[in-house]
Amino acid sequence: MSRSINLAVIPGDGIGQEVVAQGLKVLNAALPQDVKLETKEYDFGAKRYHATGETLTDADLDALKQHDAILLGAIGDPSVPSGVLERGFLLKLRFAFDHHVNLRPSKLLPGVGTPLAGQPEIDFVVVREGTEGPYTGNGGTIRKGTPHAVATEVSLNTAFGIERVVRDAYARAQARPRKKLALVHKNNVLVHAGHLWTDIFNKVGEEFPDVTTEYMHVDAATIYLVTQPERFDVIVTDNLFGDIITDLAAAISGGIGVAASGNINPSGEFPSMFEPVHGSAPDIAGQGKADPSATVLSVALLLRHLGYEAEAARIEDAVTADLAERDGTARTTNQIGDALAVRVAG
């Protein structure tokens, strides 16, 4: 059997460059001999934006479409106005490739620090909707710059979009030992979207009688995340609430240095994209200070998505072992990447 992976690599801005290099190093170490890895690097990000004014063109999308998956470092730089690269590149790509399952696992690994007292057991995954909600860009501003300005943001929610991500989350919950699924929304205030989510959540649940469910308002969820994080198994939520609670989830389970994510198109119609939850961190860029673990764990998600389960698990084990043995000695981005590659290959 001859196998191959045709990967699009987008290092992006700031520490994106450094961490993606380590991600690729570990990917190479993990792949069996018979798998042919082809990579093509793309130069999206602040530099290209300044040079050309482009963030992501139709031709870019056509090129990216040819790949089996995308590995992204981070996009964003203070020299670009807030929102330009986020909306023009990252969200554009998530929407264009219909990445409706934004998968964000949170696991507090042994030896890893948490701001919470008492080292709680944390092992859950957030399934964040990725193509709807308040992220659609729908809205506008009138009378900008005057005392009579009005700005709107419209959250768009469809039964189609909710049902598919909710079903995905149920299936993930069913496949886990605890089989628990929590819906997080704010259906007592955002009654239109909230009731649509809740109704569909309940209806789809009938197909998964062995999954235990609960509903929780997003404000209450932030409380439980810090007081009872062991309560969670799988969480499904909308795009904006998912954005907020996954940063909190990352913070309590080792920090954004180890938080991985996948922007998944489950049908495979378009390539899925894998990226660390952290940003481009321009303040520490180019200094070898960034922890590549989040990117390496994103590579594991990528491999699992492409069907390389054993290789994904080997990478996760390597990161777990590396974190457990950290003794406070500072290592460079490159050194951590090397250590992980050695473990994975060994």
Where is the binding site for NAD(+), in residues? 279-291
Where is the binding site for substrate, in residues? 94, 104, 128, 219
- Using alpha carbons only, give the angle 76, 77, 83 rounded to the nearest 5 degrees: 60
Q: Which of 69, 193, 260, 285 binds a second copy (CB under 8 A)?
A: 193
- Pair 155, 193: CB distance under 8 Å: yes
Task: Give the nearest residue (CB) to ligand IPM.
Answer: 86
Does 96 bind a second copy (CB under 8 A)? Our answer is no
**Residue 295 CB-density burial (10 A; 0-12 exposed, 13-18 middle, 19+ buried):** buried
Residues lying near ligand IPM in the complex (CB under 6 A) are found at 86, 90-91, 188-189, 219, 243
Does the annotation mark 247 as catalytic?
Answer: yes
- Say whether 248 sits in a helix, a strand or coil: helix
- Which residue is catalytic, options 60, 186, 238, 322? 186
Q: Which of 141, 178, 287, 310 binds a second copy (CB under 8 A)?
A: 141
- Using alpha carbons only, give the angle 269, 10, 101 rounded to the nearest 5 degrees: 40
Where is the binding site for Mg(2+), in residues? 219, 243, 247
Does 45 bind a second copy (CB under 8 A)? Our answer is no
Does the annotation mark 43 as catalytic?
Answer: no
d(CA 301, CA 307): 10
Does the annotation mark 49 as catalytic?
Answer: no
**Residue 335 CB-density burial (10 A; 0-12 exposed, 13-18 middle, 19+ buried):** middle
Does 153 bind a second copy (CB under 8 A)? Our answer is yes
- Pair 199, 185: CB distance under 8 Å: no
d(CA 150, CA 104): 35
Does the annotation mark 219 as catalytic?
Answer: yes
What's the min distance (Å) between Cβ of 297 and a second copy? 18
| Residues in touch with a second copy (CB under 8 A) | 76, 82-83, 86-87, 91, 114-118, 134-135, 137, 139-141, 143-160, 163, 186-196, 198-199, 218-220, 222-223, 226-227, 240, 243-248, 250-252, 255-256
